[in-house]
Amino acid sequence: MALESLRYSRGSLQVLNQLLLPRASVYEDVTNVQQGWETIRLMKVRGAPAIAIVGCLSLAVELHHSHKRKKDDLVSFILESLAYLVTSRPTAVNMARAAMELTTFVKQEAEKPDTTSESIQNSVIQWAEDMLTKDIGDNRRIGEHGAKHILQKVPNQDIVILTHCNTGSLATAGYGTALGVVRSLHAAGCLAHVYCTETRPYNQGARLTAYELVYEKIPSTLVADSMASLAMKEKAVSAVIVGADRVVANGDTANKVGTYQLAIAAKHHGIPFYVAAPTTSCDLSLEEGDKIVIEERPSQELTDVNGVRIAAPGIGVWNPAFDVTPADLITGGIITEIGVFRPHELRSALTKPMNVDCQ
Ligand code: MRU
């Protein structure tokens, strides 16, 4: 059975508390928007697509169980809930994008003379459920496009991948983005090995990606972030693949802190560097990466491990959760569900997907 970041059926949402992994696998009920917001903020669920899905499904579950409201009151409640969910974490664009699209949808529904509060409620629930289904399909397509592209570019059937953070089933509705490409390469019998970084300070690589790789029996090795350049030099790495929290119009990409240094090291070693992300992680409203708001997390996430302080008392702490990789370092391409693009092709690919050739 595949690992599941969440379990959903109409009226019921359970989210795997990723803070407890890999020691314990505990699913917790999320029954309303407030709990959805806290689950995201505390990073019980994390990863750009999973954040948006849990946010929207928390609203769907609350709507399913809520008393009947007048149409105007219902619309206000939905719009306020979406605006609130967006404040949970600022860098990943998926929640903000879902909120924007759902807000437009709800306003349009409300303006139709024949809609009732019940029909609006049901269509919002359906919208959130469709998002869940779409994400899994998108990830499988990302996996296929990415694997095909890498196999064309790398003339070697024994592919070695280095990846960062967690981008697998746990960060999405299922299958994963960068880890989805790894899964597809493995399924095609072309994957020799995966190196996953520990991903300090929060250890998404050591706790989550390593867990997924072992669970799937994919040949893999954990390295500390500080070993990544050496791994590229000595371990015949064919490509580096990471996920994204936000890809902006020029291709600059925000992802888990540490991604930027991997891209620099990959360029030095002549190793293609790929970003794998659904188009829901793309944000054409921002031209360049320096406009992306970078979340800063509590200092304890850096100074402590599992509640035990390891840093010297009194030291100052800077804890940005993400960094921005400039487009010119994304030398392999941006792998999406609609194809693989060079960073400068992204804008036209997203506005006119049918007119742009996938590489
Ligand atoms: O702070 P996190 O764990 O939410 O950060 C996650 C990442 O940076 C992922 O690489 C990104 O969201 C892509 S997940 C498919």
The per-residue pLDDT for range 6-64, each reduced to its tens digit, is 999 999 999 999 999 999 999 999 999 999 999 999 999 999 999 999 999 999 999 99
Tell me, what's the pLDDT at 356?
A: 37
Tell me, what's the pLDDT at 81?
A: 98
| Calpha distance 33→43 (Å, rounded) | 15
- Predicted structure pTM score: 0.95
How many A from CA of 71 to the centre of ligand 1? 37
Residue 88 has phi, psi (to 5 degrees) of -65, -45
To the query of whether residue 29 is one of the catalytic residues in this protein, the response is: no
* Ligand 1 contacts CB of residue 201 (under 6 A): no
Residues 308-328, mean pLDDT to the nearest whole number? 97
* Ligand 1 contacts CB of residue 171 (under 6 A): yes
- For residue 164, give the amino acid letter: H
The single residue of 245, 252, 283, 323 carrying the catalytic annotation is 245
3-state secondary structure of 315: coil
Q: What is the largest CA-CA distance in the chain?
A: 66
Check: complex ipTM more than 0.90: yes
Distances (CA, A) of 202 to 26, 43, 311: 19, 10, 14
* Ligand 1 contacts CB of residue 255 (under 6 A): yes
Average pLDDT score over the chain:
95
3-state secondary structure of 224: coil
Ligand 1, residues 39, 142, 163, 167: which to mutate, most atoms within 8 A of Cβ? 167
Atom of ligand 1 nearest to the CA of 242: 10
**In the chain, which ranges are continuous DSSP H helix?**
33-41, 48-65, 71-86, 94-111, 117-153, 178-187, 204, 210-215, 228-234, 259-269, 300-303, 346-351
| Calpha distance 31→82 (Å, rounded) | 15
Residues 157-166, mean pLDDT to the nearest whole number? 95
Reported confidence tier of residue 359, pLDDT bands at 50, 70, 90? very low
Q: pLDDT tens-digit profile of 223-251?
A: 999 999 999 999 999 999 999 999 999 99
How many A from CA of 91 to the centre of ligand 1? 10
Reported confidence tier of residue 358, pLDDT bands at 50, 70, 90? very low
- For residue 137, give the amino acid letter: G
The pLDDT of residue 141 is above 80: yes
Residues 344-352, mean pLDDT to the nearest whole number? 93
Reported confidence tier of residue 67, pLDDT bands at 50, 70, 90? confident
Tell me, what's the pLDDT at 279?
A: 97
Q: Crossing angle of helices 117-153/48-65, nearest 10°? A: 160
